[in-house]
Amino acid sequence: MKQIDKSKPVMVTGATGYVAGWLVKSLLEEGLTVHAAVRSPDNKKKTAHLDEIAAKTTGSIKYFKSDLLQEGSYAEAMKDCELVYHTASPFVLDVKDPQKDLIDPAVLGTKNVLDTANKTASVKRVVVTSSCAAIYTDCIDCESAPNGMLTEELWNTTTSLEYQPYSYSKTLAEQKAWEMVKQQDQWDLVTINPCFVMGPVLNPKNSKSESLSFVKQLADGTMKMGVPKIGTGVVDVRDVAKAHYQAGFVPSAQGRYITAGHNTDFLEMGTVLQSKYGKQYPLPKRALPKWLLMIVGPWANKLFTRPFIKKNVNIAWKADNSKIKKELGMEFIPLQKTMEDSFQVLVDHKLI
């Protein structure tokens, strides 16, 4: 049972990211001092939104220059921290070199942060942002799971450097973290495993997260002829931030936490937007037939390979979120609100 002293600074790696932004906001609102470990502390385009939040709250934020691939670069930011949040990891689906662009920063970065935790006597707890991608690769994996549902007991065993390498990066990085926690007894480890994160972006003009790209594609007509009905979980970014907060400060938090609000699919993510935005934007209304996707999918999008289509289209995604509800007191924002709020930010900033 680790009790975290709220008068001590809290470190957040990748604080400029989409998910981390909302976590930093909740820490600042609680009056905490945030040590933001980021690649570009001097780039105001990436930090201004965090400074604005800090100015309105009782908390404070200090930036440190850190890179996942630079050994020892998190030491200064971690000094005096009892709680470390490690969220930084590339979330990019289309990469040229999966080893260099995904696996190395995810795995070596996790090792780098945890090596520094081992050398920083103040650290009591590390919360790593993992993913449901460390639990499954394809929707069809839900069908073979016990009771047809993903749980924290399961690990992704079907991803590889060649097939869905982002999922591979998250699996290997989380495994590295669980391996390293066993080698010491100074700090404990909790992982937050979100499914697809949606919800408002705090820094929409400068965000590169795949979450934002997906909402843009719903609006820009890319899917107006129809959408592949791929099963997915959706969770609101504000709930993901809350889950991280609870994972850090609830003394009894332990193990992995599936952080998934809704078992849904790409079609429903589009159709819940119809009532508010359907007249103005070319939102998808129907599912594309699987046979058609098998023919045109690989030609239209290199990620849409036939094996991917076969194992994901028209297959339900199901995960059990009871552990996080019970142990961390989580409740989840309704899907419609999450999707509408995601969309409205892009409308307000004229990004769609």
Ligand X SMILES: NC(=O)c1ccc[n+]([C@@H]2O[C@H](COP(=O)([O-])OP(=O)(O)OC[C@H]3O[C@@H](n4cnc5c(N)ncnc54)[C@H](OP(=O)(O)O)[C@@H]3O)[C@@H](O)[C@H]2O)c1
Residues 167-186 that bind ligand X (CB under 6 A): 170
**How many of the chain's residues bind ligand X (CB under 6 A)?**
29
CA neighbor of 202 nearest in space, from 50, 37, 69, 61: 50
Interface with ligand X (CB under 6 A), residue from 17, 231, 248, 270: 17
Interface with ligand X (CB under 6 A), residue from 10, 16, 141, 219: 16
Residues 32-61 that bind ligand X (CB under 6 A): 38-40, 46
Residues 328-347 that bind ligand X (CB under 6 A): none
Cβ proximity to ligand X: between 95 and 294 the closer is: 95
CB of 275 to ligand X, least distance (A): 24
CA atoms within 13 A on the CB side of 133: 23
Cβ proximity to ligand X: between 227 and 234 the closer is: 234
CB of 323 to ligand X, least distance (A): 17
CB of 335 to ligand X, least distance (A): 14
Cβ proximity to ligand X: between 68 and 319 the closer is: 68
Give ∠ CA 313-211-12 in degrees, rounded to 5: 135
Q: Are 63 and 47 in contact (CB under 8 A)?
A: yes
- x-or-dash string of contact with ligand X, 85-114, rule CB under 6 A: --xxxxx-------------x---------
- x-or-dash string of contact with ligand X, 189-228, rule CB under 6 A: -----x-xx---------xxx-x-----------------
CB of 329 to ligand X, least distance (A): 21
Q: Is 24 in the site for ligand X (CB under 6 A)?
A: no
Interface with ligand X (CB under 6 A), residue from 10, 11, 12, 19: 19
Cβ proximity to ligand X: between 32 and 50 the closer is: 50
Q: Which residue has the tokens 């945030």?
A: 34
CB of 59 to ligand X, least distance (A): 19
Q: Is 242 in the site for ligand X (CB under 6 A)?
A: no
Cβ proximity to ligand X: between 15 and 272 the closer is: 15
Rounded to whole angstroms, what are the CA distances from 235 to 32, 106, 131, 203, 269? 25, 22, 12, 19, 11
Q: State the residue number with the nearest CB to ligand X.
A: 17
By CB under 6 A, name the binding residues for ligand X. 14, 16-20, 38-40, 46, 67-69, 87-91, 105, 129, 131, 170, 194, 196-197, 207-209, 211
